[in-house]
Amino acid sequence: MEFEELKRIAASVGEREGWDFSRVRDAREPAPWDYLDVVRRYLQPADRVLDVGTGGGEKLLSLAACFDSAVGVDASPEMIATACKNEAAAQTDKVSFEVMRGEALQFPDGAFDVVLNRHCTVDVGETFRVLRPGGYFVTQQVGARNTHNICALFGCGVGGEYDAPDLFQELDALTEAFRRLGCRVVCAAEYDVRYWFLDVESLLFWFQAIPMPEDFDIEAHWRQVDHVIVEFGTPRGIETNEHRELLIVQR
């Protein structure tokens, strides 16, 4: 596609609010799990829940019927501001949100029955500390091979960064770290399936929302975007892959 057309589309798709990707039209091959379905299995009506890296609180708020109370934390004040707006719209008093880093949780030891983390850095020590004995930690992480064809073209990692990946955040390393603390590993799994952006608008929203790469700018990167559209376009959509890792441990 020509630069002017890509620039027009990029301007039209708007900015991400919170961590809401509902504007992305996509499809994927069947995956062995859905994050929210997995989490619901570990929630009880009396549970107190912590969601680390909650973003705009979208996932946590969707689970509100499954627990007694929850706190969502995120290091970004802008994300928490969005989460508070989403909470008001959801009209629930079960969930609160605070600006807080996952490596410095301001909660007492054993304060939570379940700790959740979706696509955010895991601090093993802090997660273990705030989880009550017998409680569960559930995390889904973006795997190192995610969107590998696009990442290779831009020379960046799965989060858009150019730095080397943090090996301590990979599934095997996290699993071993929790085992060393005496936790029972309930599940350690991954999937890598084909994934399609169904239109150029969805692809450009994703590029800008991640951002992918971290310095993404349509004027600087339009040729690479055009390459993605041409090279990876199929009758089903613009093809890449989705790599996810799942870890569930019990303290």
Report mean pLDDT in 10-residue bins for the chain, 251 residues.
96 92 96 98 98 97 98 97 96 96 97 97 97 98 96 94 86 96 98 98 96 95 97 98 98 97
3-250 to CATH, choices 3.40.50.1110, 3.40.30.10, 3.40.50.150, 3.40.50.170: 3.40.50.150
State both tokens at 125. 């020590």
pTM tops 0.75, yes or no:
yes
Domain residue ranges of the chain, discontinuous segments joined by +: 3-250
Q: What is the pLDDT of residue 167?
A: 78
